[in-house]
Chain A
Amino acid sequence: MVQNIIDVRNLSKSFDISFKEPGLKGTIQHFLNRQTKSLKVIKEISFAIKEGEIVGFLGANGAGKTTILKMLCGLIYPSEGSILVAGHLPFRRKENFLKNITLIMGQKQQLIWDLPPIESFYLNASIYDLDKFEAKKRIKKLSEMLEIDDELFIPVRKLSLGQRMKSELLAALIHEPNILFLDEPTLGLDINAQRNLRKFLQKYNKETNATICLTSHYMKDITSLCKRVICVHEGAISYDGKLNQLLKRLSPVKEILIVCRSEKDATKLESSGFTIKNRINNEITIKIENSSITSSLKTILNNFDIEDLFINEPPVDEIIGKVLIKKDYEI
């Protein structure tokens, strides 16, 4: 049985935020008597993640996804509740724990700006106690996987965003961590760079059985990498489960565009009891429930003279968008 590598129970996080009224009066008040308020940004969440799983954290801006990742990797201290990651309390930042994880934040870089990335790679390798031979081997392997062999010796400031992001990934993975926390890793990348990065993460997961926790506003990242998603709404978990189940639940009906050979067939189909969305000449769009799609299509193909047929999947962005503004999508 696969073990839980991340176990979170009743986790909460509060921040003290200061408030300022606009205008001069507000500025003076803010200076003399600063008003602060404790804001609970994560509210008693619980979940567990198994070794090798890729889990997507979804949520609107400010929902708390990044704060969760920061607590999981030990960057910030939780206010309440417990977190266990690979058997460690993350905020203690023990060496054995830190050697097992990595955190990648889109646009935030750890590479030394004025030097070629190879210098940062060797530095990271020594920080993680890798000898030069092992470091060389891993740099070669990862640079081939990421296709950045040529950029290793060019100063970071001269690299494109995509090349920099790949170099960041290499720097963050040189110690071959088991758990990857990725916060918007494809932010700002072009379509090809995004696709390559996703391919790389899939390959890395397959080869090393690494656990990946990912946040992204690009649905393609989520749909191509994550089987499971955790939706966060105002600091609480609104859904935790399989992505395809969520999609089925939120979009129980598929639209099918049927092109009939003649208008006569179209009229016959129109009056056969299916839910019709619209009809233009001999083209009819009908709505069919996911559960009865196979039997309905069989009936249509057997009884009507059909020239062509298109099944339209509703856009994932639209469906997920619904989740982000709702409180509860328990299945």
Chain B
Amino acid sequence: MKSNLINHKIITLLKVQYSNMLEYRVEIALWAISGIIPFFMLNIWTNNNLNESIDISDVMLSRYFLCAFFVRQFSVVWVVFSFEEDSLMGKVSPYLIQPLNPFFRYFAQHLAEQITRFPFAIIIAFFFFIFNPESIWIPNLGILFLSIVSTFLSFLIQFLIQSIVACLCFWTERASSIERLLFIPTLFLSGLLAPVVSFPAYVKTWIYLTPFPYLIDFPANLLSGNATNISGGLSMQILWIFLLFPLFKKIWSEGTKKYTAMGS
């Protein structure tokens, strides 16, 4: 009975947020196009033969960056900006007195946006293959399934990290500036600009202890068929979720005590 009610809540939330996202379909198409950094990086890497130093073929590198694009499309998170705006405008107040944590709304918004993004991402991939026909491959179903799971876990990690930062709004109004600090390691260490394997060995050891390589590098390598430790990567993703979730709950519970309901 209880699980039915929870399912009903989640499905309604998703349906409503999906309807809302469809109102912004042009913006979402533009956001999808704006996520083509990996293709620029691919161009830089192949034109300068940088892949020779890390022993990855051109084909595997182009598949890697296409997968990085896909993983990024389905794991991008902006909850800190939405929460900050809602918090400053007093919109969080009505959500706080409803029997549903407001972060569920943002979570549903993100999922709905990913569903809306999907066809645009497919179109971009189609054009990618037209210009890089040698990169066409079909991953086996098992790998595809694990890649989807891993991309979702990557989304969860990013959502939790940003939600923790968003909760800092209860102490400092501009939590998004803290998020900008996090953006730098995310950009460099996640595998968006370069596969983590290209880093020097002593740096790699440290990078793999952080959550960043599990955001893009691991799922992208998994999907593209590059050599990767599947069970190790998935375990690290789950471990980070288990570490971040209680931290989020603690910060949320302390933060709401500090809430001043400004702007309302």
Interface residues of A (CB under 8 A from B): 15, 70, 73-77, 91, 93, 95, 98-99, 101-103, 105, 108-110, 112, 114-115, 119-120, 122-129, 131, 172
B173-195 CB mask vs A (1 if < 8 Å, else 0) is 00000000000000000000000
Name B1-58 residues within 8 Å CB distance of A. 5, 8-9, 11-13, 16, 19-20, 23-24
Interface status of B264 (Cβ within 8 A of chain A): yes
Residues of B within 8 A of A120 (CB): 16
A112 CA to B12 CA in the complex, in Å?
Answer: 14
A255 to B91 Cα, complex, angstroms: 48
* Interface: B94 (CB within 8 A): yes
Residue contact A123 to B12, C-beta cutoff 8 Å: yes
**Complex: chain B residue closest to A124, CB-CB:** B98
Q: Whose C-beta in chain B lies nearest to the C-beta of A110?
A: B94
A108 contacts B264, C-beta separation under 8 Å: yes
Tell which of B19, B91, B99 has the most Cβ of chain A within 10 Å. Answer: B99
| Among candidates A73, A76, A110, A126, residue contacting B260 with C-beta atoms closer than 8 Å | A76
Could you tell me the distance in whole angstroms from the C-beta of A133 to the nearest C-beta in chain B?
Answer: 12
Whether A74 lies near B16 (C-beta < 8 A) is: no
Interface centre among B11, B23, B93, by most A CB within 10 Å? B93
> Nearest chain B CB to A62's CB is how many angstroms away?
14
Q: Is the CB of A75 within 8 A of B99?
A: no
Residues from chain B with Cβ under 8 Å of A122 in the complex: 12, 16
Contact residues of B with A, CB < 8 Å?
5, 8-9, 11-13, 16, 19-20, 23-24, 90-91, 93-100, 256-261, 264
CA distance A129 to B41 in the complex (A): 48
Q: Is the CB of A105 within 8 A of B264?
A: yes
Flag if B96 contacts A75 (CB, 8 Å): yes
Name the residue on B nearest A90 (C-beta): B97
- Min CB gap B88→A, angstroms: 13
**Is there an interface contact between A129 and B257, defined as CB atoms closer than 8 Å?**
no
- The answer for the CA separation of A70 and B13 in the assembled complex, in Å, is 26
Whether the Cβ atoms of B97 and A119 lie closer than 8 Å is no
Q: For B258, what are the chain A residues with a Cβ–Cβ distance below 8 Å?
A: 77
Q: Note all chain B residues with C-beta closer than 8 A to A75.
A: 93, 96-97, 259, 261
Known contacts: A98-B97, A108-B264. The answer to whether A91 contacts B257 by CB under 8 A is yes
- For B94, the chain A residues whose CB sits under 8 A away are 103, 105, 108-110, 172
On whether A115 and B97 interact (CB within 8 A), knowing A75-B261, A91-B257, A105-B264, the answer reads no
Q: Which one of A70, A127, A131 contacts B261 once the chains associate, using CB atoms below 8 Å?
A: A70
Once the chains bind, are B91 and A73 in contact (CB under 8 Å)? no
Across the interface, which residues of B come within 8 angstroms of A124, CB to CB? Answer: 98
Question: Which B residues lie within 8 Å of A101 (CB)?
Answer: 97
Contacts of B11 on A, CB cut-off 8 Å? Answer: 126
CB-nearest residue of chain B to A122: B12
- On whether the beta carbons of A98 and B257 are closer than 8 Å, the reply is no
Residue of B20, B93, B264 touching A114 (CB-CB under 8 A): B20
Q: A152 → chain B, closest Cβ, in Å?
A: 14
Contact B99 A127 (CB under 8 A): yes
CB distance from A179 to the nearest CB of B (A): 11
| Chain A: minimal CB distance from B175 (Å) | 17
The closest CB in chain A to the CB of B98 belongs to A127
Question: Which of these, B9, B19, B23, B264, contacts A127 with CB under 8 Å?
Answer: B9
Question: Which residues does chain B contribute within 8 Å of A110, judged by CB atoms?
Answer: 91, 94-95
Q: For the complex formed, measure the closest distance between the CB of A212 and the CB atoms of chain B, giving whole angstroms.
A: 16
Answer whether A112 and B16 are a contact pair too, CB < 8 Å, given A70-B261, A93-B96, A98-B99: yes
* B173 → chain A closest CB, angstroms: 11
Partner of B23, one of A109, A115, A129, A172: A115
Q: For the complex, what is the distance from the CA of A289 to the CA of B9, rounded to whole Å?
A: 62
* Apart from the given pairs A77-B259, A122-B12, 14 other A-B contacts in the complex at a CB distance below 8 Å: A70-B261, A76-B260, A76-B261, A98-B98, A99-B99, A103-B94, A105-B90, A105-B94, A109-B91, A110-B94, A115-B16, A119-B20, A125-B12, A129-B9
A93-B97, A123-B16, A124-B98 are known contacts. Are A15 and B91 too (CB-CB below 8 A)? no
CB-CB < 8 A to B16: which residues of A? 112, 115, 119-120, 122-123
Contact (Cβ within 8 A) A127 B100:
yes
A102 to B98, CA, bound (A): 8
Chain B residues with CB below 8 A from A119, complex form: 16, 19-20
Docked pose: A99 CA to B238 CA in angstroms:
34
Which residue of B is nearest A131, CB measured? B8
Q: Chain B residue with minimal CB distance to A75?
A: B261
A108 to chain B: which residues have CB within 8 Å? 90-91, 93-94, 264
CA distance A86 to B94 in the complex (A): 19
Contact residue among B5, B19, B264 (Cβ-Cβ distance under 8 Å from A115): B19
Chain A CB within 10 Å, residue with most, of B12, B91, B258, B259: B12
